[in-house]
Amino acid sequence: MNIDAYRWRPPKPNYLPHNVDLDPFVENYDDIQLGRPEAYENAQFFSKIKRAAQEYNITRPKGYNVSFHANPEMEKHHFGKTHPMKPWRLTLTKSLVMSYGMSFAMDNYIARAATYEELNNYHASEYLDHLALTPADDVPRLEDDNEKAQTKFNIGLSDCPLFQGLYDYCSMSAGGSIDAARKICSGQSDIAISWGGGLHHAKRSEASGFCYINDIVLAVLQLLRCYPRVLYIDIDVHHGDGVEEAFLSTDRVMTVSFHKYDPREFFPGTGALTDNGPKSEHNPGAHHALNIPLNDGITDQQYEQLFQTVITQVVERFRPSAIALQCGADSLAGDRLGRFNLQVQGHSSCVAFVKKLGIPMILFGGGGYTPRNVARAWAVETSIAIDARDKLDPVIPMHAPWRDHFKYDAELFPSLQKILGEPRANKNTAKKLQDIVQHVGEQLKFVSIAPSVQYQVIPPDLQGIRDDVEDRLKEETEERDDQLRRTREEGVGVAGERGQQKNLAYCKKLTVSQLKADLKRRGLSVSGKKADLVERLRMYEETGRESGGGSGGGTDSESHIGSTYNDNDMDWEQ
């Protein structure tokens, strides 16, 4: 296979791969038999969960529908013995959900595999072809300057290994999330659950952070066909960089990510507080990416208060018509990669808070590398979706499959002491959290309240949205520059009162930021109100023209009102 035929590119400079050896002990579930049970075993289990539903009074929620999307074939895939990602956690989650009888309260669907065309709605054809056709034992490799073995599209590294059935695994994950979104769009579901999805790191043409296909992006694209504004919330311990990047240039999606942030030591090294989308105010996506960077050891109380405060502000301002909530469970205490002190109670409180908003919602899975903790969290969050949280027995039912794997006396809500022994040091100060809330409030001031949007056909390639925005911004900049140049040319040589009136009128049209920028370039004071700035700039222009001042009399563009502005250096006022 000729590697030169591929448009391969190395990871971003800030790409920080997971350290898969972060914890020396990674549970091995190779001995778990995941084959289909015999008919009599199915009948016995069905009888037990039916009795459990009656015992716990599990009924369908009143006034709304919940759908549950899963595929047992997806759960059988294996990333490798030492890899933290264990798809078997989905089996454990589903068995716990069923053991409490919760499946009787939902519409249950076997997730189908997404088609190539559906995956191609976001991902590049070349990337999908490589994902589908490259066998596990034949990975083309390149040697970079550091003599590190890199593979095409980041597939084949320790983070994103090739394994048997990789394409099937990805397409089933995406299919469940796409179908969940379609149930929301059709009105058949008010809450749809896809615990097999939530793979938020995958890029358009690049695997990243255990993620190959970004099912969340594909699901949100479905939601945008029938909802004007979608809010994406991410409570994974890692920054939701892939989703943020996909919708960077649109104001129809706002992304809010709560995550551990360390640009040097923690994957993916992105998601700083000041990363709020495109820098240009002319880009519709500006201020529509909110990042909540956290340190090790945050507690339930801190997390709940911060989450509720931030999301309340966001919802009041953005007013989403649908919500996509990624419930990565690696933010729980005891995770192989996470370093928070969150318990199931604190993590699930986020789901409960969003549910109370009464907005159509998809619940996605995500990270989570201690399977028993993942299953606990997602089972409890499923119970919240069907309004049965208070009905669950705090001790896992005796008939639950693989009950021994839950440890901690099979408690549904084990204490922090049982999980960690001693809580991790909390490095999140009250001031840090207050500063975060303040910054979020400042960013939201730039967001139009319930911005109206024009419905349009979503391009097959999501990259087309960003390309269209960038092309439009470029055209607007060129048009603005032409207009300013014509205005300057008209003003050259105009003397007396007519010229003064023209300069004064033009000065008044400029915004405060434009006036300050022009004055600053001329070395003049930028203090005072707009009227003061206008008069100061007008006087400078008149004096400079008459005396041949400035930087070239009346002909140098830098000495005249309306010189070219650089969007990247300006904080344009609305």
The CA distance from 364 to 162, in Å, is: 24
What's the rounded Cα separation, in Å, for the pair 119 and 122? 6
Q: How far is CA 366 from CA 23, 165, 199, 509, in A?
A: 19, 20, 5, 50
Cβ–Cβ under 8 Å, residues 394 and 375: no
Per the annotation, the verdict on 201 as an active-site residue is: yes
Q: Helix (H, G, I), strand (E, B), or coil: what is residue 444? A: helix
Catalytic residue among 201, 239, 259, 287: 201
Question: Taken in order 67, 71, 75, 78, is the CA torsion positive or negative?
Answer: negative
Contacts of 366 (CB under 8 A, 6+ apart): 198, 199, 200, 234, 236, 326, 327, 328, 329, 330
In angstroms, rounded to a whole number, what is the distance separating the alpha carbons of residues 91 and 402? 10
Q: What is the DSSP letter of 252?
A: S
d(CA 484, CA 472): 18
How does DSSP classify residue 11? P
Query: What is the CB neighbour count within 10 angstroms for residue 473?
Result: 17
Token reading at 237: 């311990």
Q: Kind of pairing, strands 149-151 and 141-143?
A: antiparallel
Q: In angstroms, rounded to a whole number, what is the distance separating the alpha carbons of residues 491 and 177?
A: 60
Cite the active site residues. Answer: 201
